[in-house]
């Protein structure tokens, strides 16, 4: 058993856990931050991704003790962090969630949602270091996060939407949207 | 006979306000923020953790189990074995051949033998090591051919005294005559490998037995209702003392549609210890639990006239079922019954045999039982086209069975947008311009398919509704929907919300949905066979219309106008003829509550009587069928044998798209999963029956980099019986991705790959064989032709 002091989402948290417990276990089962998911527990799926000092890290492969002295951000911290950064969004329909979260929701990327906390944190880390990434950069940045539901299409669309909107540009339009509008024109 | 209502395909108030638009999902924000609670997120005070001991042998008799050392370990609260849960169950009531823990025998490496509940997972794991099991090994069947031929030892003691799980032979029309008189007969053998669902959330269940004797089970299941029934049977508890709740579910794809060992174990352990118990399977255990795609060996013979009309299809299929029955009875029927569209052929015969082997049990994976035959047949159709010099899209058009028709095996077809699907992918891929003109190693292939929107076979025979919905109205202006449906990420609770809001003219955010809690919600049979949108959607319209009638009556009486003048729209009730008369939804609800008492309603759906008039004729009979066409573009590296798929065009007829974005998500997820299993994934065991790589890395799930660019088209044929005309979208669009890929490979490099998965080794072997054939045939000419890319 080891006493741990962790900085999670800006809060200093003290807890105790067996020495071999991973950061993921401590977050989920000691601190009640169950937004970080366990899909494999061996570094293969990325569902457990959290940001440690701003960088995506697999919390299932990180011993909890190693995270001491670092700042850990989980999915639960994304919205508050965003609210702190921007006053503008409070009171909107979605309560001012991070633009990445909002875009994932609007684009349909959240099917079962199990991979998505990790996915969104990887996306957030990417946009923090590369505000205008290419399609390839997005695919690469997300390639450690497996999703079984979406075929990644709406995830990539969501990241591209968040990027476009951050520059005031139009969101990408997938083929089925174009196709339906075209049809409508034909039938009108 | 329960009531079945056809609600019509039109909008309730002239024009759709919510349906047909891409609204947010009901649970989107909670999933985005990490608030959504999945099974393993449930932490109860005093909760124990359970672990499972699994068989190290593929086939063995259990001579003895001694749990005393494990029980003596400090921190261990209970140990159970097959003797504690010996009643057999199975999702199909005719084939109950599973027990929660092995009773006399183990039947695959990974079969469950004992379970321990302890104060934490580490202690539980340590206790597993202390359970002493003595086995007597038996001959292990790993090859389905052997299971077909060899009767002993039997994997399951059955009346038939062999290792056959199910045999179905059905015959429609004169196949032999058609073959004799045909201009062309094409024969081929195909092999489809096993693959698994690999939902990112592992199976997890939590049970609590409260002091009042009520058992609550939270489980990552996609079929709460069958789990409820199975628990009652195995635990010998009265079902009304069991409550099954499905929390937020992290993906399923068919992999959570059997009752699983862990659900019974946590319940039993909670009962024995008086403490809540959780069991979370490791990723490795999920691979053993499997229930994935059945490997099949498929022999097909297709006959045709010289202008490309298919005259008969003849199929012989050997199905490797793995160690238990699971849905196997249905799988065996589906392997033949679902091939009879979208093409019309006058004669059809299939002979399908599912055998047991000592491998992880197979079950339903997205496109249950029909993805494999679809692969074989669509490849064969491509060969027919090639040999007759026909365009592969043209031959599919030529054989289309049309709308509102009956298939050769007696299935009723209502709407079909298949022709439009073909048009879309033809245009999208620029087929006519590009096919045959691509650089060497690149090719285009097409395939089509059909799938069910639910089936009228309710798993256990009963005359009650297949789907039920209950609405509760609050004076605040809120409508709460109690839906039995399992939302597994596909968005069924969202669809229910949209429909209620549409019918009651409300803001959809003022409709909340409580789903898949057996204490609160009416029964729905579960998220399988693509039944939910169709059946639950219809039940929702039913319930909402009953409620709407009351509200309209109350408002009309208040205004002293005829009911037809009252319209519920955008959060208000308005008078069509007097713009001064307006009420908010809340006020309208209050009037209705005052007039009719506490407000609520129920709705249900049941299928009409469907299917052919023969044994098994209702299996695969669906109230509506979805249709799909794919064009796949492929790049084959002839040096390395590596196949890449730069692009896939998929058009899917889902009837009316209730939320097009959710439909697109289902289509894209299906395309991804089909291409993935064709190129990368393989669920197999080694010569001892040990899984060859039970991890997400070894199993090779594609990443965002490996997944093709997918161009999606939604075709809306508007089905007369679907909710507003909707049909399924979650499974159909997987089917034809795989044969379209195979056909594209042929277009690219002239080889026909008939064995999945399409690994580089198989590509290279086929290329070598092709070169040899050409050399033998006198070589030069064929090579010259080929280098022009003129292979179609
Ligand atoms: S749980 Fe950490 S990578 Fe899968
Ligand atoms: S949304 Fe289900 S795994 Fe990604």
ipTM, 2 dp: 0.95
Q: What is the CA radius of gyration of chain A?
A: 18
Residues of B in contact with A155 (CB under 8 A): 704
Do B542 and B500 form a contact (C-beta atoms < 8 A)?
A: no
The percent of residues in chain A predicted with pLDDT above 70, rounded, is: 91
Tell me: pLDDT of B268 over 50.
yes
| Residue A114 contacts B where some CB pair is shorter than 8 Å | yes
Burial bucket for residue A100 (CB in 10 Å: 0-12, 13-18, 19+): buried
Task: Say whether domain B296-457+612-758 belongs to CATH 3.30.365.10.
Answer: yes
- Other CB atoms within 10 Å distance of the CB of residue B427: 15
Say what the pLDDT of residue B160 is: 81
Q: How confident is the model at residue B6 (pLDDT cuts 50, 70, 90)?
A: confident
Q: What is the rounded distance in angstroms from the CA atom of residue B210 to the CA atom of residue B270? A: 9
Ligand closest to CA A57: 1
Burial bucket for residue B237 (CB in 10 Å: 0-12, 13-18, 19+): middle
Ligand 1 atom showing the smallest separation from residue A43 Cα: 3
Tell me: pLDDT of B3 over 90.
no
Mean pLDDT, chain A, rounded, equals 92
For the record, the structure tokens of A106 come out as 């609007």
Q: Considering only the C-alpha atoms of chain B, give the largest distance between any 2 of them, rounded to a whole number of Å.
A: 92
Q: What is the mean pLDDT of residues B668-687?
A: 97
Higher pLDDT: B161 or A110? It is: A110
Q: What are the pLDDT digits (tens) for B413-433?
A: 999 999 999 999 999 999 999
Residue range B465-605, CATH number = 3.30.365.10
For the record, the structure tokens of B610 come out as 């469907």
Tell me: pLDDT of B782 over 60.
no
For the record, the structure tokens of A172 come out as 């990408």
Say what the pLDDT of residue B475 is: 95
> Between the CA of residue A52 and those of A29, A55, A122, what are the distances in Å?
19, 5, 11
Our CA-based measurement puts residue A65 at a distance from the nearest CA of chain B, in whole angstroms, of 19
Ligand 1 atom showing the smallest separation from residue A49 Cα: 2
One fold for both B39-138+202-249+256-289 and B296-457+612-758?
no
Do B608 and B3 form a contact (C-beta atoms < 8 A)?
A: no
Say what the pLDDT of residue B104 is: 95
Tell me: pLDDT of B655 over 80.
yes
Residues facing residue B164 across a β-bridge? B355
Say what the pLDDT of residue B399 is: 98
Say what the pLDDT of residue B779 is: 54
Answer whether A56 contacts ligand 1 (Cβ < 6 A).
no
A-B CB pairs within 8 A amount to 203
| Residue A75 contacts B where some CB pair is shorter than 8 Å | yes
Count Cβ neighbours within 10 Å for each residue of B352-362 and write b for 16 or more, e otherwise.
bbbbbbbbbbb
From the list B459, B569, B469, B455, the residue with the least C-alpha distance to B514 is B469
Say what the pLDDT of residue B66 is: 98
> Between the CA of residue A56 and those of A109, A125, A143, B367, B697, what are the distances in Å?
20, 7, 12, 35, 19
Do B632 and B695 form a contact (C-beta atoms < 8 A)?
A: no
Residues of A in contact with B696 (CB under 8 A): 39-40, 44-45, 146
Break chain B into its structural domains and give their ranges.
Answer: 39-138+202-249+256-289, 296-457+612-758, 465-605, 759-792
β-bridge pairing B405-406 and B412-413:
antiparallel
Do B46 and B208 form a contact (C-beta atoms < 8 A)?
A: no
* Interface contact A110-B28, CB threshold 8 A: yes
Task: Say whether domain A2-77 belongs to CATH 3.40.50.720.
Answer: no
Q: What is the rounded distance in angstroms from the CA atom of residue A172 to the CA atom of residue B313? A: 45
- Other CB atoms within 10 Å distance of the CB of residue B715: 25
Residue showing tokens 């199929």:
B315
β-bridge pairing B242-245 and B215-219:
parallel
Tell me: pLDDT of B5 over 90.
no
Do B452 and B586 form a contact (C-beta atoms < 8 A)?
A: no
Do B518 and B228 form a contact (C-beta atoms < 8 A)?
A: yes
Answer whether A174 contacts ligand 1 (Cβ < 6 A).
no
Do B534 and B575 form a contact (C-beta atoms < 8 A)?
A: no
Helix (H, G, I), strand (E, B) or coil at B329: helix
Q: Using CB atoms, which residue from A35, A95, A152 is nearest to B704?
A: A152
Residues of B in contact with A30 (CB under 8 A): none
DSSP letters spanning B78-107: EEEEGGGS---B-SSTT---B-SS-SSEE-
Ligand 1 atom showing the smallest separation from residue A58 Cα: 2
- If DSSP states are collapsed to H, E and C, what string results for B675-708? HHHHHCCCCCECCCCCECCCCCCCCCCCCCCCCC
Mean pLDDT, chain B, rounded, equals 96
Q: What are the pLDDT digits (tens) for B96-151?
A: 999 999 999 999 999 999 999 999 999 999 999 999 999 999 999 999 999 999 99
Tell me: pLDDT of A94 over 70.
no
| Residue A54 contacts B where some CB pair is shorter than 8 Å | no
Q: How confident is the model at residue B489 (pLDDT cuts 50, 70, 90)?
A: very high
Tell me: pLDDT of B788 over 80.
no
Do B276 and B305 form a contact (C-beta atoms < 8 A)?
A: no
Q: What is the A74 CA–ligand 1 centroid distance (Å)?
A: 14
Q: What is the rounded distance in angstroms from the CA atom of residue B62 to the CA atom of residue B60? A: 6
Q: What is the rounded distance in angstroms from the CA atom of residue B313 to the CA atom of residue B308? A: 13
Residue B558, Cα to own-chain centre: how many angstroms? 49
Tell me: pLDDT of A86 over 80.
no
Q: How confident is the model at residue B714 (pLDDT cuts 50, 70, 90)?
A: very high
Q: How confident is the model at residue B791 (pLDDT cuts 50, 70, 90)?
A: very low
Tell me: pLDDT of B775 over 80.
yes
Among A28, A46, A107, A111, the strongest candidate for a mutation testing the B interface, having the largest count of B CBs within 10 A, is A111
Q: Which residues contact B321 (CB under 8 A, 6 or more apart)?
A: B165, B166, B294, B328, B331, B354, B355, B356, B357, B361, B362
Q: What is the rounded distance in angstroms from the CA atom of residue B218 to the CA atom of residue B4? A: 32
| Residue B22 contacts A where some CB pair is shorter than 8 Å | yes
Tell me: pLDDT of B758 over 50.
yes
Among B19, B26, B27, B33, the strongest candidate for a mutation testing the A interface, having the largest count of A CBs within 10 A, is B33
Tell me: pLDDT of B378 over 60.
yes
Q: How confident is the model at residue A185 (pLDDT cuts 50, 70, 90)?
A: very low
Pocket test for ligand 2, best of A104, A114, A142, A158 (most atoms within 8 A of CB): A114
Q: What are the pLDDT digits (tens) for B683-706?
A: 999 999 999 999 999 999 999 999
Please give the DSSP secondary-structure letter assigned to residue B726.
Answer: B
Q: Which residues contact B301 (CB under 8 A, 6 or more apart)?
A: B179, B185, B186, B187, B312, B313, B314, B315
For the record, the structure tokens of A22 come out as 């991973």
Task: Say whether domain A81-177 belongs to CATH 1.10.150.120.
Answer: yes
Q: What is the rounded distance in angstroms from the CA atom of residue B469 to the CA atom of residue B485? A: 9
Q: How confident is the model at residue B533 (pLDDT cuts 50, 70, 90)?
A: very high
Q: What are the pLDDT digits (tens) for B553-605?
A: 999 999 999 999 999 999 999 999 999 999 999 999 999 999 999 999 999 99
Residue showing tokens 């979605």:
A94
CATH architecture of B39-138+202-249+256-289: Alpha-Beta Complex (3.90)
Tell me: pLDDT of B790 over 50.
no
The percent of residues in chain B predicted with pLDDT above 70, rounded, is: 98
Q: What is the rounded distance in angstroms from the CA atom of residue A16 to the CA atom of residue B205? A: 26
Please give the DSSP secondary-structure letter assigned to residue B141.
Answer: P
Q: What is the mean pLDDT of residues B725-737?
A: 98
* Interface contact A142-B707, CB threshold 8 A: no
Q: Using CB atoms, which residue from B24, B29, B660 is nearest to A176?
A: B660
| Residue A167 contacts B where some CB pair is shorter than 8 Å | no
Q: How confident is the model at residue B665 (pLDDT cuts 50, 70, 90)?
A: very high
From the list B445, B311, B427, B453, the residue with the least C-alpha distance to B378 is B445
H or E element at residue B653: strand B643-653
Count Cβ neighbours within 10 Å for each residue of B138-157 and write b for 16 or more, e otherwise.
bebbbebeebbeeeeebbbe
β-bridge pairing B112-118 and B296-304:
unpaired
How many helices, marked H, and strands, marked E, lie in chain A?
7, 5
DSSP letters spanning A11-39: EEEEEEE-TT-BHHHIIIIIS--TTS--S
Q: What is the mean pLDDT of residues B638-658?
A: 98
Helix (H, G, I), strand (E, B) or coil at B648: strand
| Residue A8 contacts B where some CB pair is shorter than 8 Å | no
Q: What is the rounded distance in angstroms from the CA atom of residue B562 to the CA atom of residue B518? A: 40
Answer whether A46 contacts ligand 1 (Cβ < 6 A).
yes
Do B677 and B756 form a contact (C-beta atoms < 8 A)?
A: yes
Cis peptide before B480 (omega within 30 of 0): no
Q: What is the mean pLDDT of residues B55-67?
A: 98
Say what the pLDDT of residue B516 is: 98
Break chain A into its structural domains and give their ranges.
Answer: 2-77, 81-177
Do B327 and B362 form a contact (C-beta atoms < 8 A)?
A: no
Among B31, B197, B667, B733, the strongest candidate for a mutation testing the A interface, having the largest count of A CBs within 10 A, is B31
Q: How confident is the model at residue B458 (pLDDT cuts 50, 70, 90)?
A: confident
């Amino acid at each position: 058993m080891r006493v741990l002091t962790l900085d999670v989402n800006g809060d200093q948290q003290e807890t105790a856990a067996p020495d071999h417990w991973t950061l993921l276990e401590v977050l989920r089962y000691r601190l009640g931050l169950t937004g970080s998911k366990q899909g494999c527990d061996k570094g293969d799926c990325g569902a457990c991704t959290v940001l440690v000092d701003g960088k995506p890290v697999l919390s299932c492969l990180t011993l909890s003790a190693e995270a001491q002295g670092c700042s850990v951000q989980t999915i639960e911290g994304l919205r508050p962090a965003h609210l702190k950064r921007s006053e503008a969004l409070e009171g909107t329909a979605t309560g001012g969630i991070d633009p990445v979260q909002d875009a994932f929701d609007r684009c349909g990327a959240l099917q079962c949602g199990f991979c998505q906390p990790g996915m969104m944190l990887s996306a957030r880390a990417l946009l923090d270091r590369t505000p205008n990434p290419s399609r390839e950069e997005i695919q690469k940045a997300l390639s450690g996060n497996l999703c079984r539901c979406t075929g990644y299409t709406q995830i990539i669309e969501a990241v591209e939407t968040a990027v476009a909107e951050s520059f005031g540009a139009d969101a990408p339009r997938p083929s089925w949207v174009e196709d339906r509008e075209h049809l409508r024109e034909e039938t009108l | 006979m329960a009531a079945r209502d056809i609600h019509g395909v039109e909008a309730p108030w002239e024009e759709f306000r919510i349906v047909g638009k891409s609204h947010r999902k009901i649970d989107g924000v909670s999933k985005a923020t990490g608030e959504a609670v999945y099974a393993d997120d449930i932490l109860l005070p005093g909760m124990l953790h359970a672990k499972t001991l699994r068989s190290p042998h593929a086939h063995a008799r259990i001579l003895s189990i001694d749990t005393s050392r494990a029980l003596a370990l400090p921190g261990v609260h209970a140990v159970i074995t097959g003797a504690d849960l010996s009643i057999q169950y199975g999702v199909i009531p005719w084939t109950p051949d599973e027990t929660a823990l092995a009773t006399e025998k183990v039947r695959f490496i990974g079969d469950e033998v004992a379970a321990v509940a302890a104060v934490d997972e580490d202690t539980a794991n340590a206790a597993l090591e202390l359970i002493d099991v003595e086995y007597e090994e038996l001959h292990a069947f790993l090859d389905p051919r052997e299971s077909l031929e060899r009767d002993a030892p039997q994997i399951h003691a059955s009346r038939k005294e062999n290792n056959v799980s199910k045999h179905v032979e059905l015959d429609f029309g004169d196949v032999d005559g058609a073959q004799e008189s045909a201009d062309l007969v094409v024969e081929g053998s195909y092999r489809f490998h096993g693959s698994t669902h690999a939902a990112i959330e592992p199976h997890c269940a939590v049970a609590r037995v409260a002091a009042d004797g009520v058992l609550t089970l939270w489980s990552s299941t996609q079929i709460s209702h069958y789990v409820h029934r199975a628990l009652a049977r195995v635990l010998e508890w009265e079902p009304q003392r069991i409550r099954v709740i499905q929390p937020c579910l992290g993906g399923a794809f068919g992999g959570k549609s059997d009752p699983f060992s862990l659900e019974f174990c946590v319940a039993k352990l909670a009962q024995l210890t008086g403490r809540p118990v959780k069991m979370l399977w490791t990723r490795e255990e999920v691979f053993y639990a499997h229930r994935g795609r059945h490997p099949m060996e498929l022999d097909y013979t297709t006959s045709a006239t010289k202008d490309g009309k298919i005259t008969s299809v003849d199929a012989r299929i050997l199905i490797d079922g793995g160690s238990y029955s699971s849905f196997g009875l249905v799988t065996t029927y589906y392997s033949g019954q679902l091939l009879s569209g979208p093409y019309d052929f006058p004669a059809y015969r299939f002979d399908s045999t599912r055998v047991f082997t000592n491998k992880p049990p197979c079950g339903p994976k997205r496109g249950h039982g029909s993805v494999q035959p679809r692969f074989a047949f669509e490849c064969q159709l491509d060969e027919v086209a090639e040999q007759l010099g026909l365009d592969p899209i043209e031959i599919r058009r030529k054989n289309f069975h049309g709308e509102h028709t009956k298939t050769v095996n007696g299935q009723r077809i209502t709407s079909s947008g298949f022709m439009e699907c073909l048009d879309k992918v033809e245009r999208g891929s620029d087929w006519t311009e590009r096919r045959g003109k691509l650089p060497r190693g690149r090719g285009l292939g097409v395939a089509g398919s059909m799938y069910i929107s639910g089936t009228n076979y309710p798993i256990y025979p009963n005359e009650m509704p297949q789907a039920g919905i209950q609405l509760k109205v609050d004076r605040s202006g809120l409508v709460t929907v109690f839906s039995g449906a399992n939302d597994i990420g596909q968005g069924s609770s969202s669809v229910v919300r949209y429909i209620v809001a549409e019918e009651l003219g409300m803001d959809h955010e003022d409709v909340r949905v409580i789903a898949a809690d057996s204490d609160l919600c009416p029964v729905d049979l579960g998220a399988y066979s693509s039944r939910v949108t169709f059946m639950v959607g219809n039940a929702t319209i039913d319930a909402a219309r009953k409620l709407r009638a009351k509200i309209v009556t109350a408002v009309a009486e208040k205004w002293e106008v005829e009911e037809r003048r009252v319209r519920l729209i955008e959060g208000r009730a308005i008078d069509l003829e007097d713009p001064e008369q307006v009420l908010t939804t809340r006020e309208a609800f209050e009037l209705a509550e005052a007039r009719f008492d506490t407000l609520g309603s129920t709705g249900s759906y049941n299928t009409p009587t469907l299917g052919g008039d023969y044994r098994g004729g209702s299996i695969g009979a669906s109230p509506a069928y979805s249709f799909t066409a794919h064009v796949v573009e492929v790049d084959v590296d002839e040096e390395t044998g590596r196949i890449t798929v730069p692009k896939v065009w998929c058009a899917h007829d889902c009837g009316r798209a209730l939320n097009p974005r959710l439909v697109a998500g289902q289509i894209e997820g299906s395309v991804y999963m089909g291409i993935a299993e064709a190129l990368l994934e393989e669920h197999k065991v080694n010569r001892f029956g040990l899984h060859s790589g039970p991890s997400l890395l070894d199993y090779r799930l594609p990443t965002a980099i490996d997944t093709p660019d997918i161009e999606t088209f939604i075709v809306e044929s508007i089905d007369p019986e679907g909710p507003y005309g909707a049909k399924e979208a979650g499974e159909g669009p997987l089917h034809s991705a795989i044969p379209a890929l195979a056909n594209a490979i042929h277009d690219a490099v002239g080889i026909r790959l008939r064995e999945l998965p399409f690994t580089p080794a198989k590509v290279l072997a086929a290329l070598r064989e092709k070169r040899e054939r050409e050399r033998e045939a006198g070589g030069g000419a064929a090579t010259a032709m080929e280098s022009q890319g003129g292979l179609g």
